[in-house]
Chains A and B, each alone.
Chain A
C-alpha cells in the first residue's frame, strides 16, 4: 500500500526551481532515502512533506489524505532536523514532551511516555539537562526522542547524522536501522552520503538539480544506474567514466576512446552511433594484463585491498582495486583490461541515459523486501 505519494511536485523560489516534477511513491513501512549532492532539493522536498513549505505545483498524499493544504501539525508526521532544533530554554524532558503537550496528552500520561522514550534512547539520566549541556550525539538522540515519542505515521529525517563524528555516525546508522525494523514505520531519510543511503534504505531516490534521477533499491542503483549522474554518485571509489564514441562495426557495437577501444556487448535499443560515455567500476578493471597501458599515480592501502589510481593516455585517470599481495608502486607502468560485461554505457551529457540492455530482474529486490514487510506488519 502506498503511504506517501508525491505526484509531479514542483517548488519554485522566485525564478529558481528547487524541485522539478518530482514523482515518488513510498510504500507503508518503507525506508526511503533522498540522496543527492548539496543543493539538489532534498531538504525542500522533505519540508514540503512536512508542510513547512508549500508546493508550487503537484500533489502530496500521506496515507489516504491529500495533504497539500494541511498544516504540519495535522499531518501525523515527525521530523528530525539537521540542526536538531532542540528548544534551548527547555530541558531534555520538556523537549521530548512538547509534541505530546501540543496534542493535549494529559500530564501523567505525558510523563510516562517521555520516560519510556528516554529509556529507549538512554536519555533517562539527562532528562533535566538543557540541550546546550549535552554532547552532539546526545542532542541528536533528544531530537530523535522528540520525534519518536508520539508514534507518528511517517518519520522525516534531514541528514540526522551529518553533524556526528565518523564513529558515532556508524553506530547511529545501525541504531536507526534497528529502530526502523522495530517500529515498522515509514521513514524518509535525507542524506548526501551515498554510504548511508546504500546501507540503510529499502529504496533510494537519487536527486540532482531538483530532478529525480532514479528511484530503486540500493543494489539496482549500484548495478544498473539509470544514468551517468547516478553512476558517478554511487560507490566509493567512484565509477571510472570515460568519454568517447560508440560505433558499429560488422554488426557489433564498439566503444572507442583515446588510446583504447572496448566491445559494448549488451547495448539496448536506445544505443546510437556517436558521442557517448563508458563507465566501469574499479572492480571491473583488472590490473596486470590487458591492452590498456597506464602509469600508476597513487596506491592507497586500506588493509584488505589496494586502491590503484593510474593515468591512461593524457589526463584520463582510472581507479582499480588490487589484492594487497600484488605489488604495485607509484610511477610504475601497468597493463589494464576492462571487463566488457561489467561496463555501463551512457548517452552524451552529465545525466546521459544508460544505454545497456535492461536487466530482467530490475525491480525484483524491492518487491520482495516490501512484501516481506507488509506480511510482518
Chain B
C-alpha cells in the first residue's frame, strides 16, 4: 500500500516535471507584457490577454509559416506513407533475391545521424535547382522518415495473414483489388501510426529547415518563428510563447483524435493484429 502511494507520488512528479514547461508556455502567452518579468513571478496571470496572439496573426508572417508547415508536413506524410506502404507490401509478400538484406540496408540508413547527411543532401538539392523550396524539405524529410516508416509498416504487413489475400484472389479479385479490398483495411492502424509519426517529425523538424531553406516564403514554422522573434538583441518572449501554443495545437488535435489508433499501432505492430 505504502509502496503504491510512493509510486503514485513519483509518477505525478514526473508528470509535473514534463508538463510544467507546457503550462508555463501557456501562462506566459496570455500574460500582459508588464507582468512578464515580475519578481517573484506570478504563477497564474492577474489579467489574461490575447494581445500577443492578435499581434502574431496580424503583424507578422506567422500564418504564412503555418501554411508552409501544413503543406510541407502533409506532402511529406503523403509521399512517405504511399511509398512505405507499397515498399512494405513488396518486402513482405514478394520473394526475391536480397529481400532481407534490402530491409536491413534500409534500417541502416535510419541509423546514420542526420547531421552526417545534411551537407551531401544540400549539395544535391542545389544541383537539382530545388534549394529554398518546400519541395526540397519534402525530399529531405522523406529521406529520413521513409526508412522508419517502411520498417513500421513492414511489421504491420507481416501480421496480416497471407491467406486473406489468397482468399480474395480465389474469390475473383485482381492483385490490386485484393490489396485495396483486404490489405489496406487491415493495414489502416499501421498507416495511421506511420502517418502520425511522419507528420509530427516534419512538423517539428528544425535543423534541415534551417540549413536548406533561406527564403522567407518557404520557411516552415520552426525556423520561421525563431527567425522572426529571436534576434541577437531581443527575444520576444510573449510572442514566442503564443506562437509555440499555436504550433502545438494542430498536433494536440490530431493526437486526440487518433490516439487510440496510435497506442494500438505502436503496441501491436510486431504481433498479429
Q: Do A and B bind each other?
A: yes
Binding site for B on A (CB under 8 A): 47, 50-52, 71-73, 77-79, 81-83, 85, 87-89, 98-99, 102-103, 146
Q: Which of B166, B168, B170, B181 has the most CB of A within 10 A?
A: B170
User: Complex formed: what's the CA distance from A146 to B170 in Å?
Assistant: 11
CB neighbours (8 Å) of A89 from chain B are 185-186
- Choose from A47, A88, A146 the contact partner of B171 (Cβ within 8 Å): A146
User: Complex formed: what's the CA distance from A99 to B168 in Å?
Assistant: 8
- Choose from A79, A82, A83, A87 the contact partner of B170 (Cβ within 8 Å): A79
User: Complex formed: what's the CA distance from A62 to B168 in Å?
Assistant: 20
A85-B169 in contact given A73-B174, A102-B177 (Cβ < 8 Å): no
Q: Does B161 contact A (CB under 8 A)?
A: yes
Beyond A52-B170, A72-B169, A73-B169, list 16 extra A-B contacts (CB 8 Å).
Answer: A52-B166, A52-B169, A72-B170, A73-B170, A73-B172, A73-B173, A78-B170, A81-B163, A85-B167, A87-B181, A89-B186, A98-B171, A102-B173, A102-B177, A103-B172, A146-B171
- On whether the beta carbons of A87 and B164 are closer than 8 Å, the reply is yes
- On whether the beta carbons of A85 and B174 are closer than 8 Å, the reply is no
User: Complex formed: what's the CA distance from A79 to B168 in Å?
Assistant: 10
Q: Does B107 contact A (CB under 8 A)?
A: no
The 5 closest A-B pairs by CB, nearest first: A102-B172, A73-B172, A99-B171, A85-B163, A85-B167
- On whether the beta carbons of B171 and A81 are closer than 8 Å, the reply is no
A99-B185 in contact given A79-B167, A87-B164 (Cβ < 8 Å): no
- On whether the beta carbons of B167 and A81 are closer than 8 Å, the reply is yes
Q: Does B182 contact A (CB under 8 A)?
A: yes
User: Complex formed: what's the CA distance from A115 to B170 in Å?
Assistant: 21
A-B contact pairs, 24 of them (CB 8 A): A51-B170, A52-B166, A52-B170, A71-B169, A73-B169, A73-B170, A73-B171, A73-B172, A73-B173, A77-B170, A78-B170, A79-B167, A81-B163, A83-B161, A85-B164, A85-B166, A87-B167, A87-B181, A98-B168, A98-B171, A98-B181, A102-B171, A146-B167, A146-B171
User: Complex formed: what's the CA distance from A71 to B166 in Å?
Assistant: 11
CB neighbours (8 Å) of B169 from chain A are 51-52, 71-73
Least CB distance from B82 to A in Å reads 21
User: Complex formed: what's the CA distance from A146 to B164 in Å?
Assistant: 13
User: Complex formed: what's the CA distance from A102 to B174 in Å?
Assistant: 9
Total inter-chain residue pairs, C-beta < 8 Å: 59
- On whether the beta carbons of B182 and A87 are closer than 8 Å, the reply is yes
Least CB distance from B206 to A in Å reads 39
- Flag B177-198 by CB within 8 Å of A: 1 or 0 each: 1000110011000000000000
User: Complex formed: what's the CA distance from A149 to B181 in Å?
Assistant: 19
CB neighbours (8 Å) of A71 from chain B are 169, 174
| Tally of B interface residues using CB under 8 Å | 17
CB neighbours (8 Å) of A52 from chain B are 166, 169-170
User: Complex formed: what's the CA distance from A82 to B166 in Å?
Assistant: 12
- Flag B134-176 by CB within 8 Å of A: 1 or 0 each: 0000000000000000000000000001011011111111100
- On whether the beta carbons of A85 and B173 are closer than 8 Å, the reply is no
CB neighbours (8 Å) of A88 from chain B are 164, 186
CB neighbours (8 Å) of A87 from chain B are 164, 167-168, 181-182
A85-B161 in contact given A47-B166, A52-B166, A79-B167 (Cβ < 8 Å): yes
- On whether the beta carbons of A50 and B170 are closer than 8 Å, the reply is yes
Least CB distance from A131 to B in Å reads 11
CB neighbours (8 Å) of B186 from chain A are 88-89
- On whether the beta carbons of A81 and B166 are closer than 8 Å, the reply is yes
Least CB distance from B269 to A in Å reads 17
Least CB distance from B272 to A in Å reads 11
Residue of A nearest to B169 (CB): A72
CB neighbours (8 Å) of B167 from chain A are 79, 81, 85, 87, 146
Least CB distance from B128 to A in Å reads 41
CB neighbours (8 Å) of A99 from chain B are 170-172
Residue of B nearest to A83 (CB): B163
Residue of A nearest to B188 (CB): A89
Least CB distance from B103 to A in Å reads 19
Least CB distance from A140 to B in Å reads 14
Least CB distance from B186 to A in Å reads 7
Least CB distance from B204 to A in Å reads 33
User: Complex formed: what's the CA distance from A279 to B104 in Å?
Assistant: 54
User: Complex formed: what's the CA distance from A47 to B166 in Å?
Assistant: 9
CB neighbours (8 Å) of B163 from chain A are 81-83, 85
Residue of B nearest to A102 (CB): B172
CB neighbours (8 Å) of B164 from chain A are 85, 87-88
CB neighbours (8 Å) of A50 from chain B are 166, 170
User: Complex formed: what's the CA distance from A47 to B169 in Å?
Assistant: 11
Residue of B nearest to A82 (CB): B163
Q: Which of A51, A79, A146 has the most CB of B within 10 A?
A: A79
CB neighbours (8 Å) of A85 from chain B are 161, 163-164, 166-167
Least CB distance from A344 to B in Å reads 39
User: Complex formed: what's the CA distance from A89 to B181 in Å?
Assistant: 10
CB neighbours (8 Å) of B166 from chain A are 47, 50, 52, 72, 79, 81, 85
The B12-36 residues at the A interface (CB cut-off 8 A) are: none
CB neighbours (8 Å) of B161 from chain A are 83, 85
CB neighbours (8 Å) of A102 from chain B are 168, 171-173, 177
CB neighbours (8 Å) of A82 from chain B are 163
Least CB distance from B262 to A in Å reads 19
User: Complex formed: what's the CA distance from A72 to B168 in Å?
Assistant: 9
User: Complex formed: what's the CA distance from A79 to B171 in Å?
Assistant: 8
Residue of B nearest to A81 (CB): B163
Least CB distance from B99 to A in Å reads 13
CB neighbours (8 Å) of B170 from chain A are 50-52, 72-73, 77-79, 99
Residue of B nearest to A99 (CB): B171
